[in-house]
Structure 1
Amino acid sequence: MAAPETVNLLIKARWIVPVVPENRVFENCALAIRGGVIQALVPQSEADKRFEAEQVINLGNHVLMPGLVNAHGHAAMSLLRGIADDLPLKEWLHDHIWPAEGQWVNEDMVRDGTELAMAEMIRSGTTCFSDMYFFPEQAAQAAQQAHMRAQIAFPILDFATAWGSGPEEYFRKGLALHDDFRASNLITVGFGPHSPYTMSDEPLKRVATLAQELDAPIHIHLHETAKEVAESLEQHGKRPTQRLADLGLLSPLTQCVHMTQVDDTDVALLSESGAHVVHCPESNLKLASGFCPVQTLLDAGINVALGTDGAASNNDLDLMSEMKTAALLAKAVSGRAEALDAHSALRMATLGGARALGLEDQIGSLEVGKAADITAVELSELAAQPVYNPVSQLVYTNSGHRVTHVWVAGRAVLLSRQLQTLNERELIGKSRWWRQQISQ
């Protein structure tokens, strides 16, 4: 009889939803993890015979799933949560958010705000997030230190901000950051051109060229409002997607955030280019920006990921809640009750995000050889009963607060609801200090 294989961690659970293969739920199985990588998904009886684990965790009332991928946000804006609610996008941005950022955004604010955001995301099951904000060096360092996986898209705009004087400085600093984290197994650095309406053609062309040379992602707000599309038609004679395509900016490296204003030509361009869409339903609803036609995009073979946007416009970073909203909204927009079923919504929040970020070979599903980015959700409380279908409970019953354990590359960042790499009490204290400064 062969000697047992040694592994670092064996997690036994009532249910495991691996996402790949699709639409499957495994009962009374276990995940074996060694070196931060998934070695096996097998029945618990087999796991006991086959593996000798340094640590065994029994989760008899839980579902194990891939860690959620929050494919769009502005993490540091968690410190601006609630300062300008119930306003249309242009007024919210121009009259409130940009002035507040101009006064308060600095390295300390970005570091503290990013840590607050990561703590909230971890506690609700997110293991990987995409961030686009000023002082991206601070966000990258904070994520690395907290052992959280992140895509950091350094911002590029035509005009000066707290982080730089204009495109030249943004490119210089951003490319240096890309080099600094080139060897990181957790941090990916990409390009963050803010939007077509804040950028002229030449910097956008440069983004397209450099992204292809470096095989680096491009993260951009696109078709967020009807006004954006109308102004593009007036100024450039074409819709924003067509303008980006003509500039070489639409490719499998491109992550198109929002896409609430979509017609058949946009769908064709996205499909032909291989670009991804990042859907932020709750932020779009709160700002009355419009509705992303998710099912139409999926039917056209376009990959759709899920994001929360920043806490200043959402106002939370709970991707579980976002899954429910996305599923319900897809049904209403398409007029089809079967649109974006529970398994599809979960896949969008995991593997869809991984694909958009170029990380599909590493995360997004619980497959042998992938990183052990795992979330455990307890389904024993009253509001989760009875459990006929654990995936339905995950998507439709507000499961964010039921997350108990989270691992990133096999390392626990949340154990029994306790943060392991971030100090909750310290973060609350810092947040209150920032509130006092900003509200003066």
Structure 2
Amino acid sequence: MTQDPRLLGRRALLGAASATAALAVTTARAQDAEPEEPAAQPAQGARPGEYLITGAHLLTMDDKLGEIANGAVHVRDGAIVAVGADIQAPGAERIEARGAVVMPGFVDTHWHLWATLARGLGSKGGFDKAMAALAQKFQPQDNVLGVRLSMAEAVHAGITTVCNYAHNIGSPEAARAEWQAMRESGIRGRFYHGHPSDLPKDKLMDLPGLEALAKENKGDGLVSLGVAARGPDRSLAEIWRREWAAARDLDLPISTHVAYSKAVANSGAIKAMADGSFLGPDVQLIHLTQASDDDLRRVADGGSPVGLCPWTEMQVGFGLPPVARIQKQGLPVGLGVDNLALAGNADAFAMMKLTADLAAAVAGEQGTLTERQVLEWATIGGARSIGMEEQIGSLTPGKRADLIMVRMDAVNTAPASRPDITLVRAAQPANVSLVMIEGRIHKRGGRLIGHDTGKLLRDAGAAFSRLQKEAGI
């Protein structure tokens, strides 16, 4: 390698590209009556339309545009054309958003999609042993079901970008199946190519398979490629260094778990990465619950972003996410669903509320992390942490049209005198009435579009029952 390894991934990072029927959003072309709900169709195949969303309270998450009461957003050809208080767009389909907030979609920065098929397994004793047995029985079609179920729930929850930390890749076929399932979903994201869950510390991950996928990754789709890499705590030095070097040779961003236990934190893993120039904007660090202040300074100096997953971090005993200390260091932060076999459901609203409250609880002072700040972590901050802030994360003209509408006139959200606080403190996935990704509508009137949820749930249930029997759980 001839380049500074801290900088090798920057180009890839920067260039990678229910509410009730009574509360359903009223849509109409010009002044026509509300149309019938469109039939389900594959979201990836639907052409982006031209829309004018009007009457909304806009939380743009753009520092220059700020909040706009009674604002409008013009979307055309998958992009945000204009944002403001008075916008004209003759011929565009009008979506009336009175009583709602329109904002950028949530950006998930860490999610093991395959494990969603085992939802609820984490509530029983012996989770690690049971999950390990289950993981070994997964076939590529099971990985696909985990991805599809996760993506459907992401849309329901208003999550428009999903980072899949795929650490149960038992074969090249499984990797390709997850990658393809993500691409077919029409949802933006990143596939972090991982390894078999039981891969020995002295064995390399499938680097030829990774290289083959990298050659196919033309940057022309909604899903980019990365590497879910083991660090110093999970493999031998010569192994993890070779895997990271391969990722950087391919100019792929890296994501890794680190400092999630006292033993791992005390092993000097972060210091080893810092000393070897293995930190940088291309290396996302997940958890850091037991990281020392010295290690957090090393991370800040190295320029690595952080992914926090508060629900699972507390449930499995990783410790309290060091929210206030991370904030103090000024680290780029994103939030992650992590593992629905543990966390239960994908709820960015609950994640935001918990994150803000954790900061206050540890600091002993209310308002340590404001609702506005944690809302930024869930949107533009998350986009920044994975190198996509030039494309998504705010309602900025020129960015891609990834946005959501959240009802503020529901029984659990009204009255909403401060929409930003209400979103963090009171809203739920069921309040998300409209989801748009790349200008395509994936949820409308509180209903998913392009997902045969009945068949998906039947297939997922049958697959999990089979896996349980095969694993002896």
Q: TM-score, normalised on structure 2?
A: 0.83
Q: Among 415, 419, 422, which residue is 1:390 paired with?
A: 419
Map 1:309-348 → 2, pairs under 5 A? 309-348=338-377
* 1:68 is the counterpart of 2:106: yes
Q: Given that residues 69 and 349 in structure 1 are in contact (C-alpha distance below 8 angstroms), is that contact kept between their aligned partners in structure 2?
A: yes
Q: Which residue number in structure 2 is paired with residue 175 of structure 1?
A: 211
Aligned counterpart, 2:139? 106
Indicate if the aligned counterparts of 2:183 and 2:221 stay in contact, CA closer than 8 A.
no
Where 1:252 maps in the other structure, the secondary structure is coil
Distance 2:223 2:95 in 1: 28
Amino acid at match of 2:306: V
Q: Secondary structure at the match of 1:313?
A: helix
1:14 CA displacement: 2.5
Separation of aligned partners in 2, 1:194 and 1:397: 37
TM alignment of 1:402-413, pairs within 5 A: 402-413=431-442
Q: Distance in 2 between matches of 1:429 and 1:138?
A: 20
Aligned equivalent of 1:3: none
Contact persistence 1:229–1:240 (CA under 8 A): yes
Shift, 1:200, TM fit: 1.7
- The question of 1:80 aligning with 2:107 is answered no
Residue 204 (structure 1) aligned with residue 249 (structure 2): no
Relative contact order higher in (CA < 8 Å, ≥ 6 apart): 2
Residue type of the partner of 1:120? E
1:384 match: secondary structure: coil
**Partner residue of 1:363 out of 368, 392, 414:** 392
CA distance in 2, matches of 1:398, 1:390: 10
Deviation at 1:195, TM superposition (A): 4.3
The answer on whether the counterparts of 1:393 and 1:399 sit within 8 Å (CA) in structure 2 is no
Match of residue 144 from structure 1: 183
Match among 150, 155, 160 for residue 122 of structure 1: 155
Distance 1:72 1:280 in 2: 8
Structure 1 residues 279-305: Cα deviation after superposition (integer angstroms, max 9, x where no partner): 000011111210121222122121111
Identify the residue that residue 33 of structure 1 maps to in structure 2.
Answer: 75
The answer as to whether partners of 1:86 and 1:286 remain within 8 angstroms in 2 is no
The Cα offsets for residues 312-341 of structure 1, whole Å up to 9 and x where unpaired, read as: 121212222111111111111222211221
Deviations 1:250-272 (A, max 9, x none): 11111111110121211111111
How far did 1:216 drift?
1.8
CA deviation after TM superposition for structure 1 residue 210, in Å: 3.5
Q: Which residue of 1 aligns with 2:220?
A: 184
Tell me by how many angstroms 1:228 deviates. Answer: 2.3
Identity percentage of aligned residues? 25
8 A contact 1:12–1:31 mirrored in 2: yes
Structure 1 Cα separation of the partners of residues 322 and 449 of structure 2: 38
Q: Could you report, residue by residue, the CA deviation over 1:325-361 in whole angstroms, capped at 9, with x for unpaired residues?
A: 1111111122221122111111001111111211111
Indicate whether 1:218 and 2:251 are aligned.
Answer: no
Contact 1:350 1:365 in 2 (8 A): yes
Segments of structure 1 that go 5 or more residues without pairing to the other structure are 1-6, 233-238
Q: Pick which of 180-189 and 118-127 moved more.
A: 180-189
Unaligned runs of 5+ in 2: 1-48
- Give 3-state SS (helix, strand or coil) of 1:292's partner: coil
Deviations 1:372-391 (A, max 9, x none): 10011111112212111011
Other-structure match for 1:235: none
1:92 to 127, 149, 152: 127
Relative to structure 1, is the Cα distance of residues 436 and 205 closer, same or farther in structure 2, using a 3 angstrom cutoff?
A: closer
Equivalent residues in 2 for 1:179-328 (5 A)? 179-230=215-266, 232=267, 239-328=268-357
8 A Cα contact 2:430 2:446, kept in partner: no
Could you say what secondary structure the match of 2:194 adopts?
A: strand
What amino acid is the match of 1:60? R
Partner deviation per Cα, 1:46-72 (whole Å, 9 max, x = no partner): 213xx2243111111110111101100
Aligned to 2:40: none
Q: How well do the aligned residues superpose, as a CA RMSD in angstroms?
A: 2.0
Q: Within 1, Cα distance between the matches of 2:436 and 2:176?
A: 24
- Counterpart residue number, 2:97: 59
Question: Quick check: 378-387 or 63-72, which moved more?
Answer: 378-387
1:265 to 1:22, Cα distance in 2 relative to 1, 3 A: farther
CA contact (8 A) 1:257 1:277 kept: yes
Give the count of matched residue pairs.
414
Q: Which moved more, 1:373-382 or 1:330-339?
A: 330-339
Contact 2:144 2:178 in 1 (8 A): yes
Alignment match, 1:236: none
Deviations along 1:131-172, one digit per CA (max 9) or x if unpaired, are 1122332222112211001111111479648xxx9415x111
